[in-house]
Amino acid sequence: MKTIALTGNPNSGKTTLFNRLTGSNQYVGNWPGVTVEKKEGLLKKEFGEAVITDLPGIYSLSPYSPEEVITRDYILKEKPDVIINIIDGTNIERNLYLTLSVIELGRPVVVAVNMMDEVNSTGGAIDCDAISKELNVPVVPISARKDINIEALVRNALSCDKAVDLSDKIYSDDALIAIARIENLISEECKRCGLPLMWTAIKLLENDIRIIKHLDLPADKQRAIDDIARGFESTGELGDRETMLADMRYKFITNTLVRKHVVKPVKPGGESLSDRIDRFVTNRILALPIFFLIFSLIFYLTFGPLGSFFSNALDILINDIVSQAVISLLTSVNAKEWLISLVTKGVISGVGGVLVFLPQIAILFFFLSLLEDSGYMARAAFIMDRLFRRFGLSGKSFIPLLMGFGCSVPAVMATRTLENERDRRMTIILTPFMSCAARWPIYALFISAFFEEKRWIVALGIYALGIVVAVISGIVLKHTVFRGETVPFVMELPTYRLPTLEGTVLQLWDRVKEFLLRAGTLIFTMSIFVWFLSNLGPDLTVVQTENSIFAHIGRIIAPIFAPLGFGNWKASVSLLTGLIAKEAVVSTMGILYGLESSAAESGGLVPVIMQAFTPQSALSFMAFALLYVPCVSTLATIRREMNSLKWTAFTVAWQLVMAYLVSFIVYNVSRLVI
């Protein structure tokens, strides 16, 4: 079967095209060794037979960002039969830069000029046939969003089998001579490493650190190449080889392609629609009110009446209807009492406790993906950058931090948009302080028990506490562990576009699927595990909860929490199971306290909690639950994203210290105040 790789700039409509080509025949994985998302799919039957790999959205093939390295490694090693390079017709000049880099890799390329409908409707024009003649590859005008000409694109891709060489057209004679001389030097090493000769020579002339390392040339050859490069540098005014070659590529694009074959759209009054929207959205005075309005609205819809309505409905469905049905079913087949307890109090209440958050997580991600697809997220980063820099972060940290309010796992994964290692690490450390949705039931429980009248103040307060701790941590880390240079911030502000329903729904489905999978596997197993630990004694016989394995562990660690006001073993055990998943804190409390008062089926936890805690220790417990180590899924993600055990350990240590310290302060201060 043919293999097709899809490349393109961010915001070029690549995902939309991928969805058009594959429909729902797609699956998401990870690139080996790194955590950049890998999407693959089967071509829709009506188009033919092929496997399509969606490569990350990138601007070039430099050796500096993981996404770019993945793309070029994939093309060089996997040698896809053809590459579809999708470019944004409304921003063709910069998009073509990647096209030239991709063609240089020596695989057959088909160029898809996307958003042609928009180009035409704004009075612009692109002569695709002429550009195709210049580039010597098929160039197909399409609109992925409006589903125009996709079939022609696929037909071209399936029949395209020749790679082209444009170096004569792009590079100066001096450059070509230098490239040829390097080719002569490295042909042997190139063959050994299986790299295309010309591309490798160009990369060496560009001083590409990864290729230099990979080839591992003998010192005399490397010296000879440096001499050739120095000679080449002296032929131009720009002075350094990287700039000189890039300049030649851009000159080729501007002079040969864009100036002759592209008519840029006429903007009414010199302003596009995007510019006009930005006059308000990134306006000096209006930007912040608009920003806060948008995010307050999203939070209100997520955690306010809309989200609660769905959550409550699901809660009733699972814990009343399903649970009762299962009990009567099990009773009717004379199941043992412990089995009924395992299924209902272990599995259903454990997994169900997580599932009730599904509506809220779905709503939050729905809005976040709308913001992302419309182009507002980049503006949010633009607006907030100055502020975030004070805490040692970048404007781009804003997106992961915001997603942290939904779930830390995708939030930590979202730090990939930060190119700089230091920014990424810092953002990863601070993200779990943003209170994820799974922590909400902990607050909800304690608020219902102690602070019903001041519900909103306490809820907002706990979220604010997380932000304050993140800010303080940021400032402290900036001046200690991460002392040193500030890092650059270079980001495109993409044209505003109306998000497509299909794209948003597909993206949402990915998240929901991930969440359901987690609930079905990790949390399912954990619920059973917790039930056993809380029902079996050290001798592995069924015992009362007070004598269970958990109780033993809890009693050992409980004194640690005494200075925080909740030094009882049930609270300690709940926090322990919270490591497996934050949702488990409440469900464990349910199991631990619920089993104790087995008669009280209804009425819930609230009355028991009111006896076990004081308002002060409740506040302290909430603060601790907010700040201490996130769940194992998050920890595993942090470990992967940090790609370092040392940094993961540092993150955990930092969170534990902050949690203990802040809870201690909260407990003692509130004892004085309340």
Partner 1 sequence: MKLTNRYQHTLILRSSMLTKLNGLEVKCLKLLKTLKDLKPGQFGIVTELKSKGPIKRRLIDMGVTPGAKVYVRKVAPFGDPIEINIRGYELSLRKEEASHIIVQSCSSEEGK
Nearest-approach distance from CB 480 to partner 1, in angstroms: 22
Decide whether 274 or 568 has the Cβ nearer to partner 1: 274
- Cβ-contact 87, 111 below 8 angstroms: yes
Q: Which residues pair with 40 in a beta bridge?
A: 27, 53
Residue 121 touches partner 1, criterion: CB under 8 A: no
Binding of residue 270 to partner 1 (CB under 8 A): yes
Cα gap 115→360, rounded to integer Å? 34
Residue 488 within binding range of partner 1, rule CB under 8 A: yes
C-beta separation of 592 from 550 below 8 A: yes
Among 35-43, 91-99, 337-345, 573-581, the segment contacting partner 1 (CB under 8 A): 91-99
Task: Choose which of 31, 47, 97, 367 interacts with partner 1 (CB under 8 A).
Answer: 97
Scanning 74-82, 145-153, 469-477, 491-499 for contacts with partner 1 by CB under 8 A, the matching segment is 491-499
Neighbours of 246 (CB within 10 A): 17
Cβ distance to partner 1 smaller for residue 12 or 534: 12
Question: Closest CB to partner 1 among 489 and 550?
Answer: 489
Whole-angstrom Cα distance, residue 446 to residue 598?
21
Give the H/E segment covering residue 597: none
For partner 1, the binding residues in 494-513 under the rule CB under 8 A are 494-495
Q: Which of 59, 232, 405, 443 binds partner 1 (CB under 8 A)?
A: 59
Q: Identify which of 658, 662, 660 has the alpha carbon closest to the alpha carbon of residue 430.
A: 658
If the CB atoms of residues 118 and 419 are measured against partner 1, the closer one turns out to be: 419
Q: Is there a contact between 74 and 4 (Cβ–Cβ < 8 Å)? A: no
Q: Name the residue among 258, 503, 287, 241 with its Cα closest to residue 386.
A: 287
Among 280-288, 302-310, 432-440, 617-625, which window interacts with partner 1 (CB under 8 A)? 280-288
- In Å, how far are 169, 234, 252, 257, 661 from 100, measured between CA atoms? 11, 25, 10, 12, 55
**Residues 526 and 587: beta-carbon distance below 8 Å:** no
Cα–Cα distance between 310 and 51 in angstroms, integer? 39
Supply φ then ψ for residue 471, to 5 degrees: -65, -50
Q: Assign residue 426 a region (left: φ > 0; alpha: ψ between -120 and 50; beta: otherwise).
A: alpha
Q: Are strands 50-54 and 37-42 parallel, antiparallel or unpaired?
A: antiparallel
**Position 264 contacts partner 1 (CB under 8 A):** yes
- Residue from 93, 183, 315, 510 touching partner 1 (CB under 8 A): that is 93
| DSSP 8-state class, residue 148 | B
Among 3, 91, 222, 643, binds partner 1 (CB under 8 A): 91
User: Of the listed pieces 127-135, 214-222, 383-391, 559-567, which binds partner 1 according to CB under 8 A?
Assistant: 383-391
Tell me: does residue 365 bind partner 1 (CB under 8 A): no
Options 263, 273, 316, 387; binder of partner 1; rule CB under 8 A: 387
Q: Closest separation between CB of residue 258 and partner 1, Å?
A: 9
Decide: 291 and 385 in contact? Cβ < 8 Å. Answer: no
Q: The dihedral of CA 288, 291, 295, 300: what is its sign? A: positive
In whole angstroms, the minimum distance from the beta carbon of 237 to partner 1 comes to 8
Among 492, 560, 562, 607, binds partner 1 (CB under 8 A): 492
Using CB under 8 A, which residues numbered 214 to 253 contact partner 1? 238, 242-243, 246-247, 250-251
By CB under 8 A, tell whether 187 contacts partner 1: no
Using CB under 8 A as the criterion, which residues of the chain lie in contact with partner 1 when the complex forms? 59-60, 62, 64, 91-94, 97, 238, 242-243, 246-247, 250-251, 264, 270, 274-275, 278, 282-285, 287-288, 378, 382-383, 385-387, 389, 395, 419, 486, 488-495
